[in-house]
Amino acid sequence: MAAVTYPNDKVISFINEKMIPLQVSFDAQPIATDFNVKWTPTIITLDSKGKEHHRTVGFLAPEELIPSLLLGIAKVYFDDDQFDNALATLNKLLLEYPESDSTSEAIYLRGVCLYKSTHEAKPLKEAYEKLNARDPKGEWTKRAYPYRLL
């Protein structure tokens, strides 16, 4: 990724604005052991306390890295019950990167955030319907499958 993704202007700008990057060798100790890093590149999104919320392993092109990082940021907010911030981040991902590999998980998580913030089941069913229309056999469609009954 150092030759293709990291030098990309959009990636540089995004990381400088939204992240605190730390690049270490996959065998750097004790970090590699502490975070169970077995392959490179491994990108881990942590919160301010060092708790992991999202991980990707392997090469990502620039058009996939940014949505993956947005998903990681949304998960930090979600796990901290900051549903409005999570929703804003997920909406940005879905609007700006609708074809990304992170989109299906973002649709799912958006439905869950809306449910948790409103206690209305309708967003869960809508998430399933969007996922089913997009990718009927996809992993996130399968995870949302029970919501079709709501």
**What's the rounded mean pLDDT across residues 69-96?**
98
The answer to whether residue 4 scores a pLDDT higher than 80 is no
Cα 68–chain centre separation: 5
The whole model's pTM is what?
A: 0.93
Q: Please list the residues that pair with 44 across neighbouring strands.
A: 55
- Label residue 25 by pLDDT band (50, 70, 90): confident
The answer to whether residue 121 scores a pLDDT higher than 90 is yes
Residue for token pair 């993704």: 5
Nearest-angstrom CA–CA distance, 58 and 60? 7
Percent of the chain surpassing pLDDT 90: 88
For 2, the token pair is: 């150092």
Identify the CATH number of the domain defined by range 9-149.
1.25.40.10
**What's the rounded mean pLDDT across residues 71-95?**
98
